[in-house]
Structure 1
Amino acid sequence: MEIPISTTLLKDFKATKTFKDNQKPITSICFNDTGDLCVTSAQDESLNVYDCKDGEKRSTLFSKKYGVNLARFTHASSNVVYASTKEDDTLRYLSLHDNKYIRYFRGHKQRVVSLEMSPLDDSLLSASLDNTVRLWDLRSSACQGVVTTTGRPTAAFDPAGLVFAVGTNSGTVKVYDLRNYESGPFATWNLRDDYYYPDGIPDWTGLKFSNTGKSILISTVGQTNYLIDAFEGHVKQRLSGHSRLLETSYGEEAGFAPDGRFVFAGGRDGDLHIWDLENPANVAGPIHDNRPMCTLTTPHAGNIRAVGFNPQYMMMVTASDDLAFWEPKSALDLAR
């Protein structure tokens, strides 16, 4: 029986299992296509793979020489691609089965801060502090295309895999047709929040499309994140009421629930904050100021650096120095 996501259900989520497998903070979380597996990367240069159904760790691999961040499952659950943090700025395509590299993707000159697989095919999108966004194909080491930006970029595919958006700290979002990106963006939006930030929105850490394709979430290092319309580019809501995020974050600390109605984010206070986008609080000002509908106390002692909502199962995952699996108490009662 499929259980719909609701405010009542989300408030009922509990951390059901905590894993203390890392010596340093976890920096990214990714689920495979079926939702059966979760892979994490951490500052201790490890990759951990967890079974979401059984609630157990499956394996640990290390990337001691190159470091590891932003680990992403490809469409094959036995393979991941990840960004390096040492030695060079190469992307590495790894077989989890035998711990061997399948391919390297070279081209970035500084650290990669955004990495995403296409939901449609084997295309890969990476953004780097070298002010470029690069397109790749897992079947070839050659870069398939480059978009130059001004300022630190972040990038994401839309849920159909037909367009991608690039955001920069200059306060601009540019949207490209994947098949015709060389012609430049087909939409450019300049975002401002003069009510709270007349000198410019705080530095952006991430950009994510909702699974519905209707909204884009911009996460920042400030105490506000922004919801923008994915078709027209205007700011729909300011999401506030949570702790300031880490300046070294990669946008992994915030995301959408699968239905696109709810946004969740961690931060320095170690709590998990959840916003209901359909019922924003009306506060005076030109932008709806939406505050969390609830705040969940987590088992983490430190900063929450990564969160994820499994798109196939009714479960959330949060990460700090340790990893926690979350499920609604009501769903657990029904399963018994």
Structure 2
Amino acid sequence: MPGGQMEREEKVAMELTDEVLKSMEVGMAFRDYNGRISSMDFHKATNYLVTASDDESIRLYDVQNAMCLKTINSKKYGVDLVCFTAHPTTVIYSSKNGWDESLRLLSLNDNKYLRYFKGHHDRVVSLSLCPRKEYFISGSLDRTVLLWDQRADRSQGLLRVQGRPAVSYDDQGMVFAIAFGGLIRMFDARKYEKGPFDIYSVGADKSDANVVKFSNDGRLMLLTTMDGHIHVLDSFRGNLLSTYNVKPVSSHATLEASFSPDGMYIVSGSGDGSVYAWNVRGGKVAFWASTDTEPPLIKWAPGSVMFTTGSSELSFWVPDLSKLGSFVVMK
């Protein structure tokens, strides 16, 4: 280059607005799955995405280069939920074979099990890793929530629940939430054995909890339920800010929703397979119909104007710049 100028790629951050969100469409899709995607997770500090599928595979993707780096099969145990640890090639996953409900710590580098976590007696339906320490929590249809340390194969604590639990740590790892039966119970992670320090109600919705999540700044939380409701709450006061409605989901499916990185938007699947987007301050922004009949999983990429959906294929959604024209606002 002239004058010995260093080659470098200019990164321009696009601000997420209603118009940018409306323009989003599938930019790339991986269609080589032989079963529905049951779980996916972005690593917070790299460009990696991991998926689990009913075809008994765990797949690692480099999102920036749109490449599948590795496929690992879990034929013996099956695979249901999967989450990254702090290490970008180590994951914790739950099984789906119906006879061994252990969780497993797996190195994707060499396909080796580093630890088994035994304690649940029925399917694990919710899994959340502490963002700051090597702790994680799991909720099961056996009506228990277990607390774990990645360095020990036995659980560090047990909480009993009266229903299907949805669990999540907040962004600091100081607090975790357990949702079931129309209530969200808030626990101090250091003093959980004392019981919840607060209990939030989501109105009259007593249907099974599917997913509970905090926004990146910890100020908001969402709860999805089998009846097709996405409740948004103030995570400090517990007051219900809004409820969005989509088609209900069947008992074997999961209604998943995800906050955008700035916490201003929520994207969600629906029981009829479509995708919705809302501005948390202003209501519905966009809707994308689908020929699918089950709700897609949905995850927003950290710090990016992109989200992914997982159904019988893995799709990456990005803004269509040609639709935006003068709406594009560059930071």
* Structure 1 residue corresponding to 2:231, chosen from 219, 226, 241: 226
Write out the 4+ residue segments of structure 1 that deviate beyond 4 Å after TM superposition: 331-335
Report the residue type matching 2:316 in the other structure.
F
Deviations 1:127-163 (A, max 9, x none): 0111111111111112111111111111100111101
Cα offset, 1:213, TM superposition: 1.0
Per-residue deviation, 1:268 = 3.2
What does residue range 212-223 of structure 1 map to in structure 2 within 5 Å?
212-223=217-228
Note the residue ranges of structure 1 that are not aligned, 5 or more in a row.
Answer: 194-199, 281-291
SS in structure 2 at match of 1:140: coil
Residues 4-37 of structure 1: CA deviation (Å, up to 9, x unaligned): 2111111111211111121110011101122411
The residue number in structure 2 matching 1:284 is none
Q: Does residue 272 of structure 1 match 2:283?
A: no
Find out whether 1:119 has 2:124 as its counterpart: no
Give the counterpart letter for 2:115 in structure 1.
R
Residues 1-336 of structure 1: matches in 2 within 5 Å? 1-86=12-97, 87-168=99-180, 170-193=181-204, 200-240=205-245, 242-251=246-255, 253-280=256-283, 292-297=284-289, 301-330=292-321
Q: Which moved more, 1:33-42 or 1:111-120?
A: 33-42
Counterparts of 1:72 and 1:21, CA distance in 2: 21
Counterparts of 2:233 and 2:102, CA distance in 1: 32
- The corresponding residue for 2:4 is none
1:182 alignment partner AA: E
Change (3 A) 1:329 1:167: same
Q: 1:304 to 1:56 in 2, by over 3 A?
A: farther
Measured after TM superposition, the shift of residue 308 of structure 1 is 0.7
8 Å CA contact 1:83, 1:89 repeated in 2: yes
Cα separation, 1, equivalents of 2:22 and 2:253: 26
3-state SS of paired residue (2:81): strand
CA deviation profile, 1:206-265 (whole Å, cap 9, x unmatched):
11111121111110111322112211222211112x3222322345x2111111111111
**Structure 1 length-normalised TM:** 0.89
- One-letter amino acid matched to 1:309: W
- Please tell me the root mean square deviation across aligned C-alpha atoms, in Å: 1.9
Q: Residue type matched to 1:8 in 2?
A: E
Following TM superposition, by how much is the alpha carbon of 1:44 offset from its aligned partner in structure 2, in angstroms? Answer: 1.1
User: Once the two structures are superposed, what CA deviation does each residue of 1:95-122 show, in whole Å capped at 9, x if it has no partner?
Assistant: 0001010000000111100001111121
